[in-house]
Amino acid sequence: IAEGIWYPKGGFNRVLQSLETIAVKYGAKFNYNNDVQEIIIDDKGVAKGIKLNNGDVVNSDIVICNADLVYAYNKLLPKTPYAEKLGNRKLTSSSISFYRSMNQIIPQMSVHNIFLSEHYKPSFDQIFKDHTLPGSPSFYVNVPSRVDPTAAPEGKDTIVVLVPIGHITSNPDIDFDKLVERAREQVIDTIEKRLNVSNFKSMIDHELINDPRSWQNEFNL
């Protein structure tokens, strides 16, 4: 931390692309857009390959799995008491994340911008005890285009807003569509008031969103 944070030009995905390029150079083959349905285990408990969603089986000497641990033990490997124990562990918070392309540079924003709730302690209780979006949420805004000119076209900004929220529970009263909408409004309102930016909303050209449902459904987290 004393030395700051290293940022890969082009974003973190560039690191993956570079690893892929090096691996391909050494003969690795990548198979994308095919979910693993199951890790095949022999009767001695040794992993022998994987079964894909399309039914294909890939036999191998070694299986390396870096999907989320709780998911992998509960969905990809045969059920065990250990998997069940993992599934009952206390989970950390989740997030609503907005990825925005802005139609202009927002000079009031630096590369890292932290907006703390005016009701700091209760806001964390709402995340970790009530598993919801705090009434007054804290949030973090990262502006990669402030340090990386490849992150946005000239004269524009790219921003990522991360709003911590409780993880998914069986509580039927939690309506994520409504919470995402409230988070969007509160983030815009706070940025406008605290940074003295007028009509921040109109500067948003395009927006992608991840919330606890997409972390679960698309990323198996």
Ligand X SMILES: Cc1cc2nc3c(=O)[nH]c(=O)nc-3n(C[C@H](O)[C@H](O)[C@H](O)COP(=O)(O)OP(=O)(O)OC[C@H]3O[C@@H](n4cnc5c(N)ncnc54)[C@H](O)[C@@H]3O)c2cc1C
Q: Interface with ligand X by CB under 6 A: which residues?
A: 35-36, 66-67, 95, 97, 162, 215, 219-220
Q: Closer to ligand X at the Cβ: 136 or 220?
A: 220
Q: Closer to ligand X at the Cβ: 73 or 215?
A: 215
Minimum distance from residue 172 beta carbon to ligand X (Å): 24
Minimum distance from residue 4 beta carbon to ligand X (Å): 14
Q: Closer to ligand X at the Cβ: 166 or 203?
A: 166
Residue among 135, 137, 212 nearest 170 (CA):
212
Count Cβ neighbours within 10 Å for each residue of 34-61 and write b for 16 or more, e otherwise.
eebeebbeeeeeebebbeeeeeeeeeee
Minimum distance from residue 105 beta carbon to ligand X (Å): 23
CB of 97 closer than 8 Å to CB of 209: yes
Q: Closer to ligand X at the Cβ: 203 or 211?
A: 211
CB of 141 closer than 8 Å to CB of 176: no
**Pairing relation of β-strands 36-41 and 47-52?**
antiparallel
Q: Closer to ligand X at the Cβ: 63 or 197?
A: 63
What residues form DSSP beta bridges with 207? 100
**Pairing relation of β-strands 112-115 and 57-59?**
unpaired
Helix (H, G, I), strand (E, B) or coil at 202: helix
Minimum distance from residue 50 beta carbon to ligand X (Å): 8
Strands (E), 76-138: 94-102, 112-115
Structural tokens at position 120? 């700091």
Minimum distance from residue 36 beta carbon to ligand X (Å): 4
Q: Closer to ligand X at the Cβ: 6 or 26?
A: 6
Minimum distance from residue 24 beta carbon to ligand X (Å): 18
Residue among 133, 131, 158 nearest 143 (CA):
158
